[in-house]
A and B are shown apart, each in its own frame.
Chain A
Amino acid sequence: MTNLIEIKGVTHAYKTPLGPLPVLDNLDIAVPEGEFCAVVGPSGCGKSTLTRLIAGLMKPDKGEVWLHGELVKGPRKTVGMAFQNPVLLEWRTILHNVILPLEIVAPSMPKKDREARAHELLTLVGLEGFEDKRPSELSGGMRQRASLCRAIVHKPDVLIMDEPFGALDAFTREDLWQTMHQLREKEPFTCVLITHDLRESVFLGDQVIVLSGRPATTQYVLDVQYPGERVLDGLYTPECSDMLHTLRDQIRIAQGRAGEDAA
């Protein structure tokens, strides 16, 4: 089995006025092609730092990040990103927000094809008919859907999501989880999802990685065995309960280390 994402022994510290702040410590993560990897961990442990390393926005002090068998040395065009803040451009319509990555990655692509591609994705996430609206005219959940479309419009092989549903209410969030599964059926991508919602990690992830408190290392890897189809009701089965319990316990352990840090 080939791993599309390989993170090997990554160690990183931020330089701050108070001296180096170690954030990641000898971190190992492997995500096979097409898989969905959920990452959970205490707040401030270095999850966003991890996403920036995978995207090639920064280089680790030590260790290596490999994507598709290539060592990551800088930004690549084959990455898509989505954040908690949908960061849509207010002066563009929804359609043209989604098109933005294509303007950079595929400048020679005909306008018509770009629009068709964006339209196809917007339809897939249930935003048909909103193409010409401005972001401010949409609800938070709809904006996040548009942001997702923008993240995958250029068919990236890696989708990196940093707490994308964190600011949404519980029901909207569950709707978007289902949208993610629909997208996965149509659009092949390998995904790293940072989240602080354990149910989300189990519902969406093929594996869940628990990071320890700062400096983060891989504390626990859960291989998700979802009972049956990925439907919300599955979350209330004993199997899911067990997995959620295990994760809960692991987070507690991770926070224990973070607690010492704070004291």
Chain B
Amino acid sequence: MKTALHKIGVPIAAIVIFLALWELLVWANGWPDYVMASPSDLPKAYSRFWELFLIGSWQTLWRTVAGLIIAVLAGTLLGMVMGFSRIARDALYPLLVGFNAIPKATLVPVLALLFIGQHNFNTVMMAFMISFFPIAVSVGIGLSTLEPEYRDILRSLGASRYTIFTKIALPKTLPEFFGALKVAVTLAFIGTNLVEIVSPHGRGLGALFLSAQTNSNYPLMFAVLIALAVLGIVLYYAVVYLERIFAGWAERPAT
């Protein structure tokens, strides 16, 4: 009982305090809307543009998740190749690192030119490209650092490579995988928004932000930022939830 109160009460109190401080800051400085909106302006923005928020959130959400799913599949596959083959590791690592170092904003126009008008596709692609790297690296490292004794125990019984992978290597990398997925979720989200904001005639919360800016609706801009934060939190905790289910064994009891 006490722990449940703790788990929910503490974060909520933190958010309330944060909003109160924000309100206080704006009020004390006497800032007008166009410098910084205050939390008390936000409910108006939400109730007026309720539908736009729902549609935008949904578009942002599904495209981020789609990009993430592709990133998980491609990243796991790449990680497996790198984890099992030394040659592949030596060959792919510099390529991946190089690709990851490219600021993804520069890829927006490239994508836009390559796939003109394919806004959904471009957004999903960006979410994928920005987020697969940590997954590939974590799976690769997890597999290549598997202690040889684990493999020997099963191999000496005549187990196939596939059996060794599913019985040992895969479950053993799950904690690292979920660690990377938490990073990837945030990154994919950034990728989606980047495309939404930069593309003309974009969709999603990013596009809503852009149109709020064009119309000088400052409370709406802040309302979008808050909505983005909420979506990010939802996605993040969805991953935490999955981690509990599939890799809960890796959690040490609190000391």
Contact = CB atoms under 8 A, between A and B. Distances in A.
A230 interface: no
Interface string A137-173: 0000000000000100010000010000000000000
A184 interface: no
Interface residues of A, number: 27
A138 to B, nearest CB: 14
Interface stretch (B17-25, B157-165, B217-225): B157-165
B147 interface: yes
A34 interface: no
Contacts of B26: none
Nearest to A84: B149
Given A83-B149, A100-B167, A91 B249 contact: yes
Contacts of B48: none
A233 to B, nearest CB: 34
Contacts of A134: 249
A44 to B, nearest CB: 16
B250 A104 contact: no
B252 interface: yes
Contacts of B156: 55-57, 75-76, 79-81, 160
Contacts of A75: 155-158
Contacts of A100: 153-154, 167
A101 interface: yes
- Residue of B150, B167, B171, B249 ringed by the most chain A CB atoms within 10 A: B249
A199 interface: no
Nearest to B153: A81
A252 interface: no
A55 to B, nearest CB: 4
Interface string B221-255: 00000000000000000000000000101101000
Interface string A96-136: 00001101110000000000000000000000000000101
Contact of B147 (A81, A87, A105, A150): A87
B254 to A, nearest CB: 14
A89 interface: yes
B152 A52 contact: yes
A194 to B, nearest CB: 13
Nearest to B171: A91
A97 to B, nearest CB: 10
A90 interface: yes
- Residue of B152, B156, B249 ringed by the most chain A CB atoms within 10 A: B156
Given A87-B147, A136-B252, A154 B171 contact: no
Given A89-B168, A90-B250, A104 B154 contact: yes
A199 B159 CA distance: 36
Contacts of B153: 81, 87, 100-101, 150
A242 to B, nearest CB: 36
A179 interface: no
Contact of B152 (A77, A81, A91, A154): A81
A89 B154 CA distance: 12
A55 B156 CA distance: 6
A100 B150 CA distance: 12
Closest 7 CB pairs of A and B: A91-B249, A55-B156, A87-B149, A75-B158, A83-B149, A104-B157, A104-B159
Interface of B: 147, 149-150, 152-159, 163, 167-168, 171-172, 174, 247, 249-250, 252
Interface of A: 52, 55-57, 74-77, 79-81, 83, 85, 87, 89-91, 100-101, 103-105, 134, 136, 150, 154, 160
9 contacts: A57-B152, A75-B156, A76-B156, A80-B156, A87-B147, A87-B150, A90-B250, A91-B171, A100-B154
Given A91-B172, A134-B249, 5 more contacts: A56-B156, A57-B156, A83-B149, A91-B174, A91-B247
